[in-house]
A and B are shown apart, each in its own frame.
Chain A
Amino acid sequence: MTEVGGMMQFGPGATTAPVPPLVVEHVAKSYELDGGRTVPVIGDLSLTLGEGEIVSIVGPSGCGKTTLLNTLCGLLAPDAGRIRWHGREVAGQPQNVGYMLQKDLLLPWRTALGNTMLGLEIRGVPAAQAEDRCRAMLDQLGLHGFADHYPSTLSGGMRQRVALARTLVNEPDVLLLDEPFAALDFQSKLLIENDTVDLVRKGRRSLLLITHDLEEAVSLADRVIVLSKRPTQIKAVYDIALGADRRDVISVRQAPGFSDYVRSIWADLDVVLQ
């Protein structure tokens, strides 16, 4: 089950198939400790993220999920293997990729609107146009009336919505999210998950979601990839077929088969209770 890129077609006829936005082939990454000892973090990892696809990655604690994400974004260079965005290897940061972490990373000196505008501002979009787009995005995420609030006056859920708006307003083809909702209470989490999935599916964007939360992984994704302990490899892949309307993460949790997926993934994780 380790080869997930198997659906890629090479040779004649491959040109007709759309190029997936992200293909990872045999990526390996290790860290060097102060003593000169190297610790392999990612052993050998291959995966494909198709257009409009939502893929969740789960794995035991400390299995290098965040290293994987930073490698994909070009913040770290892999020791081996290839990462192709829309069929091309890029040096540095890939274009049109949105990145979001558990920490909202809002700049405290900027209002919700100012934070949302950050990406457009950096790319030199005219201020008036950027502001219109950002206000519309904040409205869409239920933050109408909060655009001029500083982050320190917003709740955790609202701050994470602002972070989501900051990511989505750049209209990324691919979103890389690293436990973005882990710090939120259950209700805020469900609501923001729902909005995220809705906007991602509507925009035909692709989403790679790293999470600890198995129910979140199953309810959001088309596919769940289970990673092994370090050095990380793919342990199992589940295609989630739940039939229900996949834009409603709350009703998906009630779908028959949902808890079976969660249970098998939990078994795969092989968590030893002390």
Chain B
Amino acid sequence: MSEKPISREESFGYDRKTIDYIRNAAAHGLYEIRGMGAKRKLPNFDDLVFLGASLSRYALEGYREKCSTKTILGTRYAKKPIELDIPITIAGMSFGSLSANVKEALGRAATEVGTSTTTGDGGMTPEERQSSKTLVYQCLPSRYGFNPDDVRRADAIEVVIGQGAKPGGGGMLLGQKVSARVAGMRTLPEGIDQRSACRHPDWTGPDDLAIKIQELREMTDWEKPIYVKVGATRTFNDVKLAVHAGADVVVVDGMQGGTAATQTCFIEHIGIPTLAAVRQAVDALEDLDMKGKVQLIVSGGIRTGPDVAKALAMGADAVAIGQGVLIALGCNHDSYFQNGEHRPASADYSALGTAPGFCHHCHTGKCPVGITTQDAMLEQRLTPEFGAKHLKNYLKTLNMELTTIARACGKQNVHHLEREDLVALTLEAAAMAKVPLAGTSWIPGVGNI
């Protein structure tokens, strides 16, 4: 008599992931907190492709013809706009979430390739100011470490309204990472689970924001560009309001954007994909006739040169990268480089309950490769020199891919890439980006059905 086969029919609604979630909630009574960005499959720039040159467009000869990548940000009001060699910037990430070594590595690499880096919650460290030729200083709701001397030391100021990983939510830094130095910079007791406010303390709406921006301009004698960063939600309206409030530059961070720590329910369930957000943002600028007058930076899941090229073709003036930068430094690698040799890190990933390639445990402060940590031993696993070298290579690669694509589309300047160069591979991407489905002239939701 044969045994009865074991049923392996998995429920769609109650799959193993959902069952695991419910069990954890029942065990702990507290939501999950983690790092990095959305892990779910989302429409993204991979769903677009370029229409390279052929008979209807002339390609540029890559060996002989230059393709400019020069990028200027903050031309609307600032007396001293930001001039970058490439349109790829480093997104705001805090000292506290990252080690001081990492912040220095970001500054060194950015300076070498001629781009900007950005502070984060908790203020500006001397290491990052010293190593960064162009440093954007964030003004966040928490105002941790925010002070007028650093405003004066900065090259631009970014008023952060929200972040793609958690629009509407405040920051957090768990106690393991609130070291003596971090606590001192943030005026907090050492070792507490730090919460950040989700709203600014001294203004409450777009009309107030306009006055806040004026304060920052008066404070800096109208010299420095003022950026406004929003997490992507009602992007069309938010970008319009930011422009009305007087922003020189608007930064739109899509839901693929990363974080050092926040509730998983925020990361996966709040916000819209970058692909949808960039089109809404550009529509808003065009609707106000401010395209080219107010610059647009797009972030959230920008990983590759093609991603950069597609963001620019959609209408962005530059991109900002966070998670890709960390991966270039060694995030999720199976080893780290210390004292001249590669050393295995897999056991440390196992201790966190994860493995190289799957880790999102930035919130624990126990980063196996020494990036998202304040632990004195762990942070030695990434030196500024080693990190800067790899990050520089990554940024150079992205820029080479960007210019290669631009030449193939017949552009002498990467900022000449345009929506007409793009088509979509999926209905969702065509509808979100409002570019035609490949091989057709059909844009879902636009024109007659």
Q: Do A and B come from one complex?
A: no
B-contacting residues of A (Cβ < 8 Å)?
A: none
